[in-house]
Amino acid sequence: MKKKLSFFIVIFCYAIATAQSTNMDRKYFGVSHIKLPSSPILDDSKRTFSTNSKFISLYGFSKVNSGATLDIILDYQGIVVDDYDIVQHKVEDRDSDGKLIRTRYEYQVVVNYNSRAAIQISNSLTGESNQEHYLENNIFKSGMYRSYENAKKYYVGNGNSIKKRYRSEQWVRLIRRIKSDLNEIYGYVPFEVNNETLLILSSKKHPEYTTHQKLYTEAKTIFERMKYNEPIEGLALRLKPIIGSFEEITTKYTGTKRKERKIRHASYFNIAKMHYYMDNAEETRKYGQKIIDNDFNVSEGRRLIGLADRLKERLAVNQLSSRHFDIITEDLTDIDYSNVPEEQEGNFNKQEQDEDPSENIIAYLITSTNDTITAQISSTNINKIGYTAELYVKDSNGGIQLNTFKAEETKTLALANGEIYTTLIFDEISTDKKVSGPKFVKTLHQSDQITLHLFNGKELVLKAPDTDKGVSTLTPDFVFGIHKKLALYAEDCPKLQNRANNNEFKNNQESLLEFCRALSNCE
């Protein structure tokens, strides 16, 4: 009888334990390591480069006057300003009953600005020479004016200052892209962030809550000691019992119910993350597969396997077993660039301005797990929002770090200037990257009938409410048959459908905005 009673007590306690809430928080910790290059120069004594530009730099390399392994020539080709266009907009003023009072026209200046640059890279070790081309584009749109002449007068009076502003902004963006690409290929870049996450129980009544909180605190403290230029074997030894504790938790919850799978998922995720930052690619992959097999959040397992495979590949290419080692970055030249003519180098005398976070605007980022992160963003980084968003975030010590947030891990990015960016899946046309996953898009219009977004500053994307995927208006179907495509969207609004079939709407932002507003009101 006592044995039966004990058995039922055990079963009862287990049932209570598994019935507890399993809410999880993403708790932050910091990491530090070297970002390894895709085409490394393995002999560190040969990591030298020469260049004609004071703005070119390579982490882990010595900059020399001559005899370098890499010779990097920057050719800045300046800014090109297209002829300005004054666009006429039809405006209909209506009374409170919707009756047309009058029709009038407003005028807006539209100008295209393009800056181009190229770099030539010669590698004395391989004998190869490659050239890469870069383009930065902005479309300037003025405010609305009541007359054509007033719009023209505004641009004639302000054209030079507008050109100067875009020239400066585009120069900074070009240089940053070039340096980023060079360091991705050749550089050994120190990488430090404080926004990596572990999945930790937030449900205080759950029997594993105290253990989870303790393990997180211990892991966070260990990772705080991580330095990109110091060995991590000691840290790995300290993490071993923490990994063992998370592994032990998985043996307690072996059922198929969602809450039990969620507990196992958190343990596998945390173990995979710790192995990844201990440079254990195989173990990371192993636990990524466990996440997939556990069938709670399969995409997270696939993402971790992708990270593991890329880490394994980079370690192999660089003939290393760790991303933690010392590097030397130095300038051994004595070149004075101050007297070099601008047309020879492409603006040596321009000063690249590093953004001061205190001058940025406030941003709120909502992650895919519904966490809200308060941050700041620079005007330059607003223009770069696409596959990622670069935000300044305060760390635990009150310092400000520039962090990169992927679109696939985000729901919404709201800026204090009123701009809203959401994440959307669509097939982009305006770039060569063809990323299949979500991308940040700026919301121009949103209603229950249709939404209009802007990607990459120039690609308009429409999304109907009955689909999760957007459609670019740069596809051939839209370019050659905009009236047919819009008529399909307006099939429940006959009046608007007739307007679309009569080619009243064009494939540009202003006209598509007009169409979306009309569809939302069925006008």
Indicate the SS3 state at residue 515: helix
Strand 471-472, strand 388-394: pairing:
unpaired
What average pLDDT score do residues 149-156 get? 92
What's the rounded Cα separation, in Å, for the pair 277 and 243? 13
Angle at 213 between CA 210 and CA 218, to 5 degrees: 125
pLDDT tens-digit map of 28-39: 999 999 999 999
Q: Phi and psi of 395, rounded to 5°?
A: -90, -175
Side-chain-side CA neighbours of residue 252 (13 Å): 17
Query: What is the pLDDT of the chain when averaged over all its residues?
Result: 87
Report the half-sphere exposure of 171 (CA within 13 A, side-chain side). Answer: 23
Q: For residue 419, what are its two tokens?
A: 């701009």
Distance CA(453)–CA(271), nearest Å, equals: 39
Which two tokens mark 178? 């070039």
* CB 47, CB 325: distance < 8 Å: no
Which pLDDT value is given to residue 363? 86
**Tokens at 177, concatenated:** 């892209």
Whole-prediction pTM: 0.62
* Paired strand residues for 90: 105
d(CA 283, CA 306) in angstroms, rounded, equals: 13
Q: Which residues pair with 428 in a beta bridge?
A: none
Mean per-residue pLDDT, 456-463: 90
| Residue/partner pairs of 435-441 with CB below 8 Å, 24 or more apart | 435/387, 437/407, 437/408, 438/407, 438/408, 438/410, 439/386, 439/387, 439/407, 440/385, 440/386, 440/387, 440/388, 440/389, 440/407, 440/410, 440/413, 441/470
Q: What is the pLDDT of residues 204-222, one digit of tens each?
A: 999 999 999 999 999 999 9
Residue 417: what pLDDT?
74
More confident residue, 380 or 350: 380
Tokens of 92: 């209909």
- 394-414 core/surface letters (b: 16 or more CB in 10 A; e: else): eeeeeeebbbebbbbbbbebb
| Token code pair at residue 340 | 């070099």
The SS3 assignment for 206 reads coil
Instruction: Write b or e for each residue in 2-19: b if 16 or more Cβ atoms lie within 10 A of its Cβ, otherwise e.
Output: eeeeeeeeeeeeeeebbe
For residue 98, the tally of other CB atoms under 10 A from its CB is 8
At 34, is the secondary structure helix, strand, or coil? strand
Do 407 and 456 meet the contact criterion of CB atoms below 8 Å apart?
A: no
Beta bridge partners of 94: 100
Contact 62, 45 (CB under 8 A): no
For residue 327, what pLDDT band results from cuts at 50, 70 and 90?
A: very high
Is the pLDDT at 235 greater than 50? The verdict is yes
Reduce the secondary structure of 157-190 to three states and give it as a string: HHHHHHHHHHHHHHHHHHHHHHHHHHHHHCCCEE
Q: Helices 258-277 and 298-317, interaxial angle, to 10°?
A: 10
Query: What's the confidence (pLDDT) of residue 349?
Result: 34
Which pair of tokens denotes residue 219? 């892991």
Contact yes or no for 461/432 (Cβ under 8 A): no
How far lies 141's CA from each of 150, 316, 379, 415, 418, in Å? Answer: 14, 49, 17, 20, 18
360-412 pLDDT, tens digit per residue, is 678 889 998 888 888 888 877 888 898 899 988 876 665 567 888 999 999 99
What is the rounded CA–CA span in Å between residue 505 and residue 517? 12
Which residues have C-beta within 8 Å of that of residue 161, sequence separation ≥ 6?
none
Take residue 6 and report the two structure tokens written for it.
């004990």
Percent of the chain with pLDDT over 90: 62
- What's the confidence (pLDDT) of residue 347? 38
Q: Is the pLDDT of residue 285 over 50?
A: yes
Q: What is the pLDDT of residue 397?
A: 61
Distance separating alpha carbons of residues 54 and 335, to the nearest angstrom: 9
Which tokens is 520 given?
Answer: 């939302």
pLDDT for the residue 340: 46
With b meaning 16 or more CB within 10 Å and e meaning fewer, what string describes 420-438? ebbbbbbebbeeeeeeeeb
CB 471 within 8 A of CB 463: yes
pLDDT in tens, 55-108: 999 999 999 998 999 999 999 888 999 989 999 999 998 888 889 899 999 999
Rounded Cα distance between 432 and 17, Å, is 52
Q: Is 300 left (phi over 0), alpha (psi -120 to 50) or beta?
A: alpha
pLDDT, one tens digit per residue, over 7-46 is 444 444 444 444 567 899 999 999 999 999 999 999 999 9
Amino acid at 352: E
